[in-house]
Amino acid sequence: MRTHLPSRKVIAVLTAALLATGVAACGNSDTGGSGSGDDGKITLGFSQVGAESGWRTANTTSIKEAATGAGIDLKFDDAQQKQENQIKAIRNFIQQKVDVIAFSPVVESGWDTVLKEAKDAKIPVILTDRSVDSADTSLYKTFLGSDFVKEGRLAGEWLVEQKKAAAGPVNIVELQGTTGSAPANDRKKGFGEAIAANPNLKIIASQSGDFTRAGGKQVMEQFLKANPKIDVLFAHNDDMGLGALEAITAAGKVPGKDITIITVDAVKDGMQALADGKFNFIAECSPLLGPQLMDLVKKVHNGEAVPARIETQETTFTQEQAKEALPNRKY
Ligand code: AHR
């Protein structure tokens, strides 16, 4: 367990005192630097994936508001869905000697080197929303986020139940999230495992729409052109489903009737589409991770033990449930 906080604070004070008296301070590279801001606040460096979806916007708001509420000095970076930007941001945070680094990894692989750099600098790292596939789990303190496999499975199980009386093939198209990202990999896995219960349910096309509305629309247009009979769309998030609605309507089909639409997230626009009968089912993925994250930041900064995995509590929505929940939906 990391116990360097008090010594880092002491070093910060001593360094300031030495500088104030004109004496050059000798850095202690083992400490990872002064960390806490001049005002004594904890400094958190947070690298966000981007602004690709309604979910992401709600997640960013939650993190910024929670940091303010918790009195944490937040250094926020938007990686614009690029891993190289996230690596650059994390290296900047290390250089700035922030107290804690948190990030939502755009993809699962390729983090070991930079995480090792943070560990060597004695800066604890928290994974939030998405995880990494590093074999060395000592490179981060904890992972706070959803069970994406479960979300895919819940979506698939609902479909199995709906189509249990189907006499012939049910053609499914799948709009995947960002290639290589944990939610895309895991939702695909969970959904695939669940629909294996009924051999009539077949994924006839599957492609990435990068979690964006534009991507969802464009890929759905291609699906519709290439496949005369599409019965079901499984979109890995609401935004891609919403983009696909435009393509489906433009192709002269009725979303929610001619094509059953299942998505993940349950952001306001998605819930509205569900309540309006254009979507048929949503597996929830909550973006409101800010308060729990700030709590963890304080704990790891204080050297307290935290669970290795904290799973977000989530539910699912049918059209009727969406109508009930919509008036109180905050995001
Ligand atoms: O990692 C969470 C996923 O990322 C959300 O489902 C999606 O909307 C977002 O872009």
Q: What angle do CA 201, 204, 210 make, to 5 degrees?
A: 110
Report the pLDDT value the prediction gives residue 27, as an integer from 0 to 100.
28
Residues of the chain with pLDDT under 70: 1-38
Residues with CB under 6 A from ligand 1: 52-53, 55-56, 129-130, 183, 211, 237, 239, 264-265, 285
Ligand 1 mutation pick, 103, 185, 211, 238, max ligand atoms within 8 A of CB: 211
Query: What tokens does 22 get?
Result: 């004109």
Pairing of strands 170-176, 201-208: parallel
Could you tell me the pTM of the whole model? 0.89
* Model pLDDT for residues 215-252, shown as the tens digit of each residue: 999 999 999 999 999 999 999 999 999 999 999 999 99
Query: What tokens does 35 get?
Result: 């960390």
Q: What angle do CA 322, 328, 331 make, to 5 degrees?
A: 85
**Residues paired with residue 145 on neighbouring β-strands, in sequence order:** 311
CA 53 to ligand 1 centroid distance, Å: 7
DSSP 326: G
Give, in order, the Cα–Cα distances in Å from 234 to each of 75, 154, 204, 227, 280: 36, 12, 11, 15, 10
Strand residues in 238-297 grouped as ranges (E): 260-265, 281-284
Give the integer Cα–Cα distance in Å for 305 and 71.
21
CA 211 to ligand 1 centroid distance, Å: 7
CA 147 to ligand 1 centroid distance, Å: 12
Among 136, 155, 121, 162, smallest CA distance to 2 is for 121
Give, in order, the Cα–Cα distances in Å from 300 to each of 176, 200, 307, 308: 34, 49, 11, 12
Contact 164, 130 (CB under 8 A): no
- Number of C-alpha atoms within 13 angstroms, CB side, residue 329? 23
Report the pLDDT value the prediction gives residue 40, as an integer from 0 to 100.
84
Among 87, 76, 111, 43, smallest CA distance to 297 is for 43
First vs last C-alpha separation in the chain:
36
* Model pLDDT for residues 202-218, shown as the tens digit of each residue: 999 999 999 999 999 99
- The single-letter code of the amino acid at 28 is N
Ligand 1 mutation pick, 55, 176, 212, 269, max ligand atoms within 8 A of CB: 55
Query: What tokens does 73 get?
Result: 């000095």
* Residues whose CB is less than 8 angstroms from the CB of residue 18 and which lie 6 or more positions away in sequence, other chains included: 24, 25
Report the pLDDT value the prediction gives residue 18, as an integer from 0 to 100.
32
Among 136, 104, 140, 106, smallest CA distance to 123 is for 140
Pairing of strands 316-318, 281-284: antiparallel
Contact 115, 125 (CB under 8 A): yes
Pairing of strands 43-48, 100-103: parallel
Name the phi and psi angles at 109, rounded to 5: -100, 160
CA 63 to ligand 1 centroid distance, Å: 15
Determine if residue 162 is left, alpha or beta; phi over 0 gives left, psi from -120 to 50 gives alpha, anything else beta.
alpha
